[in-house]
Structure 1
Amino acid sequence: MKVTLSALLLVTNSVLHASTEVVNVSVTISANVVSYIDDLFVGVTLDSSLLPTTQHWKGLDFNSPKVQVLSRGLSPCYLRIGGTEGDNLTFVPTGHETIDSNRAFTGATWDAVNRFVQDVNWKFIFGLNVLKRKEGHWDPTNAKELLQYNSAKGYQLAGFELGNEADLFPGTYNITVSPRQLGIDVLNFKKLLRSTPGYETTLVIGPDVNVGRSSKFVADYFTGGGDKAVDKITFHQYYANGRTAHLSNFTDSKLMDTLVSYIQTGLDVARRTNPLTPIWLGETSSCSHGGAPGMSDRYVAGFLWLDKLGIAARMGLKGVLRQEFYAGSYSLIDNSTFDPLPDYWLTVLYKRLVGDAVFPVKASVNNSTVRAYAHCTKPSSYYGYVPGSLTMYFLLPTDNTASMTFPQFPDEPVDLFWLTPVGGLTSKTVALNNNPIELVNNTLPELKPKRMETNTVTLPGKSFGFLVFPEADVGVCSGL
């Protein structure tokens, strides 16, 4: 069975004189679902550089009511703490040990983040230091100390990583750890973990490298023992260097399409040894090196973010961890006020609306004009959507207005969740259906849809959002 659809959004004044594309959209909703995602598909990260006692989390206040509310708004959610600085760090339980405080994190720091993830219903993944080495092998002594401390406190971790982007060690640290040796190290870590009470099912995650840059490194890592060690395979991905990125990069469909070949490279390498192991983008954002200032945390970043989620889901990935929740120029919340930034609201809507089954979708225009994705709608207490509903999301990267038609549901209502900037593409404020979104008394707004009873939806260029068909009665989405 094929589905087509039409809907209407108010066109903003800035695009009234742009050309209009008439777009027919079709979704194949047969039983041959492309892939499935789950509630934990979208997660977030914090960088290891926040951990040293001298950093004081770089101002992030876990006890802030605003931070707590915003964090719960993303729940359920993985939090991964990892990054380059993780391979500099030593765990010191009391903080009284003689050690460089710039390269240490204490029991108090560990307590703070574990209390936080418990409070906001997140699942914690932590990256251990693989550069603690003895006679060419990873030295587990400090990791054992952390595991013992963690067990004594009764903290539950979802997973551990060992090392971050080890393929870059020669340039970063003038140290080389061969991929085969890293595979052996990770396998030895897994044996340690499984033999420690309380960690029988804790995930081991890796290799945490850019597979497009280092596919041979990844292949050798797997054949060295990593294939038997990892429960989730993670790759890191960024579209551009934040130091040299341009605004046009964020709406460049050709740049968006590079993710397809990147993921395919990862799938090809991983499936040789681990055909059934789930694959994640374990650290990913628009631009590397902390993001592009004035762009990676603004409305325009949503094009790359939403498209990445769509491609990753369609290609069968099981997790996408956003770098990062706080700090840098690509954060989801403001680094001084903790106010939510545009990609925060986009992520909340994705988590509320986008369900498990992924369907093939086609638009009758080039994907540089309209990029389209389709899923079952997530059954939701927020909106009362029932099984059988269909959610589609679209990106319009050009200035062209799109007149969307979906003939398969000609007489059915459509709920519109369309996001536009308040004040231009580099705005830090986003509007939902032309209404600016903001916290009120540290409470998330309802994020209500606009119910459309019309058969045509006109959407402005340089914007993106979601359409829900609550009465689609798609059999796959009904569990039939």
Structure 2
Amino acid sequence: MELCFGWFLLVASIPAIFAQDISHGSIVVDGTMTVAQTDDNFVCATIDWWPHDKCNYDQCPWHYTSVMNLNLSHPFLAKAIQAFNRLRIRVGGSLQDQVLYDVGNLKSPCHPFQKMKDGLFGFSKGCLHMERWDELNRFFKETGAMVTFGLNALHGRHKIKRSLWGGDWDSSNAQDFMKYTVSKGYQIDSWEFGNELSGNGIGAHVHADQYGKDLVNLRRIINELYKGSQSKPSLVAPGGFYDEEWFVKLLQTSGFGVIDVMSHHMYNLGAGVDPKLVSKILNPDHLNKAAYTFGNLTHIIRRHGPWTSAWVGESGGAYNSGGAHVSNTFVNSFWYLDQLGMASKYHTKVYCRQTLIGGNYGLLNATTFVPNPDYYSGLLWHRLMGKVVLNVESHASPFLRSYAHCSKGRTGVTLLVINLSNQTNFIMNAQNSINLKLAANEQNISRESFTHSLKKTFSWVGTKASDDALLREEYHLTPKDGYLRSRTMVLNGIPLELTSTGDIPSLNPVRVNVKSPITISPLSIAFIVFPNFEAPACG
């Protein structure tokens, strides 16, 4: 079967190969040491608060996907989440700081979000009724979701000037809500404080010293409510765009052990209306710019808050609901998977995609609930890439990007390779750094031993190489009909579509002789699993 597929792939690709550049090279993975570690549930997705009349660029792509009115009984939704076997879901977004919880001694009227000219982001305050909170938690339990909930960090404050808000956070409403949550036995993995209030903010901002003071109060509330509990939710903050001075001051003001997770947001592709979105996605220099933020946050955490870890709390690539006909198509997976790979290398524990559903950047279509291409990219990452990050090097073109992790739930290593070039067909030899070192150290060897050494050098088995035919597993991702803006992803030549019963299709690899070169076609992505890779860092 594998031979038949390989012959079909070769014959089908002959015309394309003659029309393309061919580049040969090597990818070397070092399995001897851990570069970083992610959380077991690294892939995360957001359910936002935006109502159906949230519009950008004369488009209203949110439909009925809000926390308030998302159809939780839609069969596609539950099955899409369950396919992850524990998807981390963040409940949050721009309007979360204006949400009132209809519980306890709430003295303010509790009404749905409505358009309001002078309101923050053009909307009034909104209301979360406990009946809806009960429905959401039943859904989370049924689907096995891990929940991060973003609290209303502007409650009780007042606007001082322009976007600056001051005064202490009024924690009473949030405390009553959290108390209700605990009393019902609802499992919350983490509580997040505020949305995009750091630095100069988006719509509103709060000074770091005030924010730190409020976090001390929230930590006290969490400790009291979960006293004696077997598991205590983490405290995540600030959930905003990275501002070095502000983030440092927040850690210094809040102090040791208050914040568990420093979360930040990234929209490194710019506005959703930008006509250059696709060219940015396919530009390695543009993608590399994100490393500055990841690296700086890692540095300040080590220096000022080593008790915390980093999350990307929200990232949709393009802001203002994403890019129509871009964020929901195949081409966006080049950005998305590159972000997952880069973030993990910089000690990011969790990466929350904006959104699970809603806007143009949803993993699921906002009206049909059918998965968009990025859904399958995230699912394959979740299933194949373990939490241990390995170093990988290649001297190929910058348009070929590669990341390596220990495989998830099994021995070996999984390699992610992304070809951003529209012209170059990369043919790569995968190498194990252990074998390269052994080969370099061997001197004065006979012809026979030289042959054996060479065999080991190009084998993923490591020092335990044998003459037996060993197989690797390959998952090649391409767009349907070669159209980059296709909403259908193709896996090893098969379009990924829901089954007749609405189930997620099987994501099956092709098996290839481990000693053969890896071929990465132009504008394609591949996950390569090496079950017999010798990697001491993988345990």
Distance 1:27 1:146, change over 3 A: same
- The corresponding residue for 1:188 is 217
Mapping of residues 118-133 of structure 1, within 5 Å: 118-133=141-156
- The corresponding residue for 1:428 is 487
Mapping of residues 66-465 of structure 1, within 5 Å: 66-93=76-103, 98-102=109-113, 103-133=126-156, 136-167=167-198, 172-173=203-204, 176-197=205-226, 201-211=232-242, 214-225=243-254, 228-240=257-269, 241-244=271-274, 245-367=276-398, 369-379=399-409, 386-387=410-411, 389-399=412-422, 400-406=424-430, 408-409=458-459, 412-423=470-481, 424-440=483-499, 441-453=501-513, 455-465=516-526
Instruction: Between 111-120 and 94-103, report the one with greater CA deviation.
Output: 94-103
- The corresponding residue for 2:41 is 40
The amino acid that maps onto 1:309 is L
SS in 1 for 2:239: strand
Indicate whether 1:475 and 2:536 are aligned: yes
SS in 2 for 1:167: coil
Structure 1 residue 167 displacement after superposition: 3.0
Deviation per CA, 1:430-476: give whole Å up to 9, x if none.
11111111111122222111111261232211111201112224333
Instruction: Between 237-246 and 397-406, report the one with greater CA deviation.
Output: 237-246
Q: Please identify the structure whose Cα radius of gyration is greater.
A: 2
Distance in structure 2 (CA, Å) of the matches to 1:256 and 1:169: 24
SS in 2 for 1:137: coil
Structure 1 residue 334 displacement after superposition: 0.6
Structure 1 residue 364 displacement after superposition: 2.4
Is contact 1:131–1:163 with CA below 8 Å preserved after alignment? Answer: yes
Structure 1 residue 50 displacement after superposition: 5.3
Is contact 1:51–1:109 with CA below 8 Å preserved after alignment? Answer: no
The amino acid that maps onto 1:444 is I
SS in 1 for 2:198: helix
Deviation per CA, 1:239-283: give whole Å up to 9, x if none.
122122421111111111011111011122222221242111111
Distance 1:437 1:140, change over 3 A: same
SS in 1 for 2:50: helix
Distance in structure 2 (CA, Å) of the matches to 1:319 and 1:430: 25
- The corresponding residue for 2:454 is none
Distance 1:186 1:459, change over 3 A: same
Structure 1 residue 60 displacement after superposition: 3.0
- After superposition, the CA RMSD in angstroms is 2.6
Deviation per CA, 1:298-354: give whole Å up to 9, x if none.
100111111111111112211111111000111101111100111111111111111
SS in 1 for 2:78: helix
- The corresponding residue for 1:19 is 21
SS in 2 for 1:458: strand
Distance in structure 2 (CA, Å) of the matches to 1:97 and 1:166: 23
The amino acid that maps onto 1:431 is V
SS in 1 for 2:316: strand
Distance in structure 1 (CA, Å) of the matches to 2:18 and 2:195: 48
SS in 1 for 2:473: strand
Distance in structure 1 (CA, Å) of the matches to 2:382 and 2:91: 21
Distance 1:56 1:398, change over 3 A: closer
Distance 1:41 1:180, change over 3 A: same
Instruction: Between 10-19 and 248-257, report the one with greater CA deviation.
Output: 10-19
- Paired residues in the alignment total 458
Is contact 1:184–1:226 with CA below 8 Å preserved after alignment? Answer: no
Q: TM-score, normalised by structure 1?
A: 0.89
Q: Any stretches of 5+ residues in structure 1 without a counterpart?
A: 1-6, 380-385
Q: Any stretches of 5+ residues in structure 2 without a counterpart?
A: 1-5, 54-62, 114-125, 158-165, 432-457, 461-468
